Homo-oligomer: A and B are copies of this chain.
Amino acid sequence: MGLTIYDIAREAGVSIATVSRVFNNSPRVAPHTRKRVLEVARRLGYQPHVSAQSLARRQAQTVAAIVPMLTNYFFVEVLRGLQDRLAETSFDLLVYAAPTLSDVNAHLERALQRGRSAGVMIFSTPMTEERVERLRRSRQPVVLVDSFHPDFDSVSIDNEQGGYLAARHLLEHGYQRIGLLMAHPDSVPARERRHGYERALREADLEPDPALIVASTDPHNHGYTEEGGYEAMRRLLERNPRPEAVFVVSDIMALGALRAIEETGLRVPEDLGLIGFDDLRVSRFLGLSTLRQPMYEMGKLAAEKLLRRIAEPELPVTSTVFAPRLICRRTCASDEQDGQRDVTTLTRNLA
């Protein structure tokens, strides 16, 4: 069924090399020849065969994104940025999303298959030595999103600073006993956020209280899930005395945490202050205070870095760290505004 370069060549009275040159915008082809070839190709409805191109060029025309799970919309927002940048190129986007963390390796293997993609972006995945070794062996361009390793390009957020700002913000609002809702302890970003939180407390002459730190035990995605947040918050609220405010290391967990809080009948922010991390779009509707990550921009930049490295593999490695931005909404009883619309009364209306 499919037309080949041979059909076009014959019809246009040229060789296949010329047809190929035309479609690759080679300057070494006479204007009128180019015109004729394109005319014939259009008339016959010819399209180059992507797999054949990939094979001959020794480079796939796709780029892979490996995402822990699509239920956390953080990843979706980053993907949007990726996609928008890639749409400007000839690379198409392969998306690998695993329902559980264990599958990340399986997806990684698929994405790294030879001839599959020209490069991969790996989201929020701890860089174990084993994984690093696997990536190196693949000799493929790699960009890390929301994680770090000196051998690979990366884009991430200043987690320590974010945790610091979160805790300090709660302190500034008069809360004293500040709890922490952690993801799994082996999540590097979560650990960094925790360090920032501890720094803020110490700066206020408060010693972090291990009893007020509870980690999500959901096995999925290092605990960054709604269910994980729900369950961890339930445990945290059993503490006696209970915390006056809580920093939750991610908005998706904060969603579950809010449910848990509601079930106990506590009021936010009067009885309990709350601040999250990420600034998902839903957070605005909930009036959730949080630390914003510029997810879309991070996606765009990640795509940019990958494209650059595909073009020039020997470029020096760069790692870009974005600064988190405090978004003050209702859940921490602030009188400040974040410059955006405030949804305070929205939720009141609904009640």
Contacts and interface: CB of A to CB of B under 8 A. Distances in A.
A339 interface: no
Contact of A351 (B51, B111, B139, B344): B344
Contacts of A80: 70-71, 97
Contact of A350 (B51, B98, B268): B268
Interface string A131-174: 00000010100000000000000000000000000000000000
Contacts of A64: 92
A341 B110 CA distance: 39
A98 B94 contact: no
B71 A73 contact: no
Contacts of A267: 349
A349 B266 contact: yes
A61 to B, nearest CB: 8
A201 interface: no
A212 interface: no
Interface residues of A, number: 70
A54 interface: yes
A31 interface: no
Given A52-B115, A115-B50, A349-B262, A93 B94 contact: yes
A286 B350 contact: yes
Nearest to A46: B114
Q: How many copies does the complex hold?
A: 2
A79 interface: yes
Contact of A95 (B51, B53, B54, B95): B95
B47 A114 contact: yes
B285 A114 contact: no
A46 B113 CA distance: 10
A23 to B, nearest CB: 12
A338 interface: no
Contacts of A139: 1
A217 interface: no
Contact of A341 (B106, B116, B259, B331): B259
Given A73-B73, A259-B341, A285-B286, 11 more contacts: A48-B113, A50-B60, A51-B51, A61-B116, A70-B76, A80-B97, A87-B106, A259-B346, A262-B343, A285-B285, A347-B350
8 contacts: A49-B55, A50-B114, A51-B116, A79-B97, A83-B95, A262-B343, A262-B345, A351-B351
